[in-house]
A and B are shown apart, each in its own frame.
Chain A
Amino acid sequence: SAVISQKPSRDICQRGTSLTIQCQVDSQVTMMFWYRQQPGQSLTLIATANQGSEATYESGFVIDKFPISRPNLTFSTLTVSNMSPEDSSIYLCSVDSALNTEAFFGQGTRLTVV
Protein backbone atom coordinates (compact mmCIF):
# COMPACT_ATOMS: atom_id res chain seq x y z
CA SER A 1 0.00 0.00 0.00
CA ALA A 2 0.98 3.64 -0.29
CA VAL A 3 0.29 6.56 1.98
CA ILE A 4 -0.29 9.82 0.17
CA SER A 5 -0.17 13.25 1.75
CA GLN A 6 -1.81 16.01 -0.19
CA LYS A 7 -1.56 19.71 0.65
CA PRO A 8 -3.43 21.93 1.09
CA SER A 9 -6.55 20.07 2.12
CA ARG A 10 -8.68 23.04 1.13
CA ASP A 11 -8.33 26.60 -0.04
CA ILE A 12 -10.41 29.53 -1.09
CA CYS A 13 -8.79 31.53 -3.87
CA GLN A 14 -9.49 34.67 -5.81
CA ARG A 15 -10.21 34.37 -9.50
CA GLY A 16 -7.22 35.03 -11.70
CA THR A 17 -4.73 33.63 -9.20
CA SER A 18 -2.96 30.25 -9.19
CA LEU A 19 -2.76 27.47 -6.63
CA THR A 20 -0.16 24.74 -6.42
CA ILE A 21 -1.20 21.43 -4.87
CA GLN A 22 1.45 19.10 -3.51
CA CYS A 23 1.36 15.32 -3.41
CA GLN A 24 3.89 13.35 -1.36
CA VAL A 25 4.03 9.54 -1.37
CA ASP A 26 5.74 7.43 1.28
CA SER A 27 7.32 5.13 -1.30
CA GLN A 28 8.74 5.40 -4.78
CA VAL A 29 6.14 5.02 -7.51
CA THR A 30 6.44 5.13 -11.25
CA MET A 31 3.16 6.71 -12.14
CA MET A 32 1.20 9.46 -10.43
CA PHE A 33 -2.16 10.73 -11.56
CA TRP A 34 -4.13 13.89 -11.00
CA TYR A 35 -7.92 13.82 -11.01
CA ARG A 36 -10.62 16.43 -10.74
CA GLN A 37 -13.90 15.71 -9.02
CA GLN A 38 -16.52 18.39 -9.51
CA PRO A 39 -19.19 18.63 -6.83
CA GLY A 40 -21.29 15.48 -6.68
CA GLN A 41 -19.66 14.03 -9.75
CA SER A 42 -17.20 11.36 -10.76
CA LEU A 43 -13.47 11.56 -11.13
CA THR A 44 -12.02 12.90 -14.33
CA LEU A 45 -8.39 12.22 -15.10
CA ILE A 46 -6.45 15.41 -15.75
CA ALA A 47 -3.03 13.99 -16.49
CA THR A 48 -0.50 11.26 -15.84
CA ALA A 49 2.83 12.32 -14.38
CA ASN A 50 5.92 10.19 -14.85
CA GLN A 51 9.24 11.09 -13.33
CA GLY A 52 11.70 12.41 -15.86
CA SER A 53 9.22 13.18 -18.60
CA GLU A 54 6.49 15.64 -19.37
CA ALA A 55 3.03 14.88 -18.08
CA THR A 56 0.48 13.36 -20.43
CA TYR A 57 -2.76 15.33 -20.48
CA GLU A 58 -6.23 14.03 -21.18
CA SER A 59 -8.55 15.56 -23.70
CA GLY A 60 -9.84 18.89 -22.45
CA PHE A 61 -6.88 19.61 -20.18
CA VAL A 62 -3.81 21.60 -21.21
CA ILE A 63 -0.43 22.22 -19.70
CA ASP A 64 -0.82 25.99 -19.62
CA LYS A 65 -3.84 25.66 -17.35
CA PHE A 66 -2.66 22.70 -15.27
CA PRO A 67 1.14 22.59 -15.22
CA ILE A 68 2.50 19.54 -13.43
CA SER A 69 5.90 18.83 -11.97
CA ARG A 70 7.34 15.42 -11.09
CA PRO A 71 10.86 16.03 -9.80
CA ASN A 72 11.33 12.58 -8.23
CA LEU A 73 9.62 9.26 -7.61
CA THR A 74 7.81 10.37 -4.43
CA PHE A 75 6.54 13.86 -5.21
CA SER A 76 4.41 15.76 -7.68
CA THR A 77 2.66 19.10 -7.90
CA LEU A 78 -0.36 20.28 -9.83
CA THR A 79 -0.91 23.98 -10.40
CA VAL A 80 -4.32 25.36 -11.26
CA SER A 81 -3.55 28.56 -13.15
CA ASN A 82 -5.56 31.69 -13.75
CA MET A 83 -8.43 30.29 -11.77
CA SER A 84 -12.11 30.90 -12.40
CA PRO A 85 -15.14 29.77 -10.39
CA GLU A 86 -15.50 26.84 -12.82
CA ASP A 87 -12.27 25.44 -11.40
CA SER A 88 -13.93 24.93 -8.03
CA SER A 89 -13.55 21.21 -7.47
CA ILE A 90 -11.80 18.57 -5.45
CA TYR A 91 -8.41 17.71 -6.88
CA LEU A 92 -7.07 14.26 -6.10
CA CYS A 93 -3.62 12.77 -6.41
CA SER A 94 -3.36 9.05 -7.05
CA VAL A 95 -0.61 6.48 -7.45
CA ASP A 96 -0.37 3.00 -8.92
CA SER A 97 2.36 0.44 -8.67
CA ALA A 98 1.21 -2.19 -11.14
CA LEU A 99 -1.56 -2.85 -13.61
CA ASN A 100 -3.26 -5.41 -11.40
CA THR A 101 -3.17 -3.40 -8.20
CA GLU A 102 -5.58 -0.86 -6.92
CA ALA A 103 -4.92 2.84 -7.00
CA PHE A 104 -4.25 4.80 -3.83
CA PHE A 105 -5.58 8.28 -3.33
CA GLY A 106 -4.71 11.31 -1.34
CA GLN A 107 -7.38 12.96 0.75
CA GLY A 108 -7.94 15.56 -1.91
CA THR A 109 -7.75 19.33 -2.09
CA ARG A 110 -11.07 21.12 -2.00
CA LEU A 111 -10.69 24.28 -4.03
CA THR A 112 -13.19 27.11 -4.05
CA VAL A 113 -12.64 30.00 -6.43
CA VAL A 114 -14.47 33.22 -5.65
Chain B
Amino acid sequence: AQSVAQPEDQVNVAEGNPLTVKCTYSVSGNPYLFWYVQYPNRGLQFLLKYITGDNLVKGSYGFEAEFNKSQTSFHLKKPSALVSDSALYFCAVRDPINTGGFKTIFGAGTRLFVKA
Protein backbone atom coordinates (compact mmCIF):
# COMPACT_ATOMS: atom_id res chain seq x y z
CA ALA B 1 0.00 0.00 0.00
CA GLN B 2 1.12 3.51 -0.69
CA SER B 3 2.20 5.69 2.21
CA VAL B 4 3.96 8.93 3.01
CA ALA B 5 6.13 9.67 6.02
CA GLN B 6 7.10 13.04 7.38
CA PRO B 7 9.44 12.14 10.21
CA GLU B 8 9.49 15.55 11.85
CA ASP B 9 6.42 16.96 13.59
CA GLN B 10 8.09 20.34 13.76
CA VAL B 11 11.05 22.12 12.19
CA ASN B 12 12.52 25.28 13.67
CA VAL B 13 14.79 27.53 11.67
CA ALA B 14 16.05 31.09 11.94
CA GLU B 15 15.05 33.59 9.32
CA GLY B 16 17.60 33.74 6.51
CA ASN B 17 18.83 30.20 7.11
CA PRO B 18 18.13 27.34 4.72
CA LEU B 19 15.26 25.03 5.59
CA THR B 20 14.52 21.40 4.82
CA VAL B 21 11.28 19.55 5.47
CA LYS B 22 11.67 15.82 5.00
CA CYS B 23 9.39 13.39 3.20
CA THR B 24 9.76 9.74 2.28
CA TYR B 25 7.25 7.67 0.40
CA SER B 26 6.34 4.11 -0.39
CA VAL B 27 4.57 3.18 -3.60
CA SER B 28 4.91 0.19 -5.84
CA GLY B 29 5.14 2.11 -9.09
CA ASN B 30 6.47 5.48 -10.18
CA PRO B 31 5.02 8.06 -7.82
CA TYR B 32 3.51 11.43 -8.41
CA LEU B 33 4.70 13.61 -5.51
CA PHE B 34 3.33 16.88 -4.21
CA TRP B 35 3.94 19.45 -1.50
CA TYR B 36 1.14 21.57 -0.07
CA VAL B 37 1.16 24.31 2.55
CA GLN B 38 -1.59 25.22 4.96
CA TYR B 39 -1.69 28.58 6.68
CA PRO B 40 -3.86 29.05 9.78
CA ASN B 41 -7.60 28.95 9.03
CA ARG B 42 -6.94 28.40 5.35
CA GLY B 43 -7.29 25.56 2.89
CA LEU B 44 -4.33 23.78 1.37
CA GLN B 45 -2.26 25.54 -1.26
CA PHE B 46 -0.19 23.72 -3.84
CA LEU B 47 3.57 24.39 -3.75
CA LEU B 48 5.16 22.04 -6.25
CA LYS B 49 5.04 18.59 -7.78
CA TYR B 50 7.20 15.92 -9.32
CA ILE B 51 5.70 13.90 -12.12
CA THR B 52 8.63 13.01 -14.34
CA GLY B 53 11.84 14.51 -15.71
CA ASP B 54 14.31 16.64 -13.81
CA ASN B 55 14.66 15.45 -10.22
CA LEU B 56 14.88 19.01 -8.91
CA VAL B 57 11.58 20.81 -9.13
CA LYS B 58 10.96 24.44 -8.33
CA GLY B 59 7.71 25.76 -6.99
CA SER B 60 5.95 28.70 -5.47
CA TYR B 61 7.44 31.16 -2.97
CA GLY B 62 11.04 30.07 -3.66
CA PHE B 63 10.55 26.48 -2.57
CA GLU B 64 12.10 23.53 -4.33
CA ALA B 65 12.21 19.79 -3.81
CA GLU B 66 14.42 16.99 -4.97
CA PHE B 67 13.11 13.62 -6.00
CA ASN B 68 15.50 10.83 -5.00
CA LYS B 69 14.30 7.50 -6.26
CA SER B 70 16.98 5.39 -4.55
CA GLN B 71 16.15 6.91 -1.18
CA THR B 72 12.43 7.21 -1.93
CA SER B 73 12.54 10.79 -0.70
CA PHE B 74 11.11 14.12 -1.77
CA HIS B 75 12.46 16.68 0.67
CA LEU B 76 11.23 20.27 0.52
CA LYS B 77 13.87 22.97 0.64
CA LYS B 78 14.31 26.70 0.58
CA PRO B 79 17.67 28.49 0.56
CA SER B 80 16.61 31.34 2.84
CA ALA B 81 13.64 31.05 5.17
CA LEU B 82 11.19 33.86 5.85
CA VAL B 83 9.05 34.35 8.94
CA SER B 84 6.05 34.24 6.60
CA ASP B 85 6.98 30.66 5.66
CA SER B 86 5.78 29.52 9.08
CA ALA B 87 2.93 27.13 8.35
CA LEU B 88 1.96 23.47 8.18
CA TYR B 89 3.48 21.56 5.27
CA PHE B 90 2.12 18.36 3.79
CA CYS B 91 3.84 15.93 1.50
CA ALA B 92 1.49 13.87 -0.65
CA VAL B 93 1.78 10.96 -3.04
CA ARG B 94 -0.33 9.57 -5.79
CA ASP B 95 0.28 6.15 -7.28
CA PRO B 96 -1.17 6.35 -10.78
CA ILE B 97 -1.08 2.62 -11.29
CA ASN B 98 -2.47 1.26 -8.09
CA THR B 99 -4.86 3.89 -6.77
CA GLY B 100 -7.35 3.16 -9.46
CA GLY B 101 -7.81 6.86 -9.87
CA PHE B 102 -6.84 10.12 -8.35
CA LYS B 103 -6.58 9.21 -4.71
CA THR B 104 -3.94 11.28 -2.96
CA ILE B 105 -2.36 10.14 0.28
CA PHE B 106 -1.09 12.84 2.63
CA GLY B 107 1.70 12.71 5.15
CA ALA B 108 1.10 13.65 8.76
CA GLY B 109 2.35 17.18 8.21
CA THR B 110 5.33 19.14 9.50
CA ARG B 111 4.89 22.42 11.27
CA LEU B 112 7.56 24.91 10.28
CA PHE B 113 8.49 27.73 12.62
CA VAL B 114 10.74 30.45 11.28
CA LYS B 115 12.07 32.72 13.98
CA ALA B 116 13.04 36.31 13.26
A binds B: yes
Residues of A in contact with B (beta carbons under 8 Å apart)? 4, 6, 31, 33, 41-43, 45, 48, 92, 94, 96, 99-100, 102-108, 110
Q: Which A-B residue pairs are the 4 nearest by beta carbons?
A: A105-B43, A102-B46, A96-B102, A105-B44
Q: How many A-B residue pairs have CB under 8 A?
A: 57
> How long is the Cα–Cα vector from A45 to B43 in the complex, in angstroms?
15
> How long is the Cα–Cα vector from A102 to B36 in the complex, in angstroms?
9
In the complex, the answer to whether B108 meets A42 with C-beta atoms within 8 Å is: yes
- Counting chain B CB atoms within 10 Å of each CB, which of A4, A43, A106 scores highest? A43
Cβ of B104 under 8 Å from chain A: yes
Q: Specify the chain A residue showing the minimal Cβ separation from B107.
A: A42
Q: Count of B residues near A, CB < 8 Å? A: 24
Collect the chain B residues with CB atoms within 8 Å of residue A33's CB: 102-104
Collect the chain A residues with CB atoms within 8 Å of residue B44's CB: 43, 92, 94, 103, 105
Cβ of B34 under 8 Å from chain A: yes
In the complex, the answer to whether A103 meets B103 with C-beta atoms within 8 Å is: no
Collect the chain B residues with CB atoms within 8 Å of residue A31's CB: 101-102
Partner of B90, one of A6, A42, A99, A106: A42
B46: min CB distance to chain A, Å: 4
Q: Specify the chain B residue showing the minimal Cβ separation from A102.
A: B46
> How long is the Cα–Cα vector from A9 to B111 in the complex, in angstroms?
23
Collect the chain A residues with CB atoms within 8 Å of residue B104's CB: 33, 45, 96, 103
Known contacts A45-B104, A105-B43; 9 further A-B pairs (Cβ under 8 A): A31-B101, A43-B106, A45-B103, A48-B101, A48-B102, A96-B102, A102-B46, A105-B45, A108-B42
In the complex, the answer to whether B102 meets A99 with C-beta atoms within 8 Å is: yes
Partner of A106, one of B36, B43, B92: B43
> How long is the Cα–Cα vector from A102 to B46 in the complex, in angstroms?
7
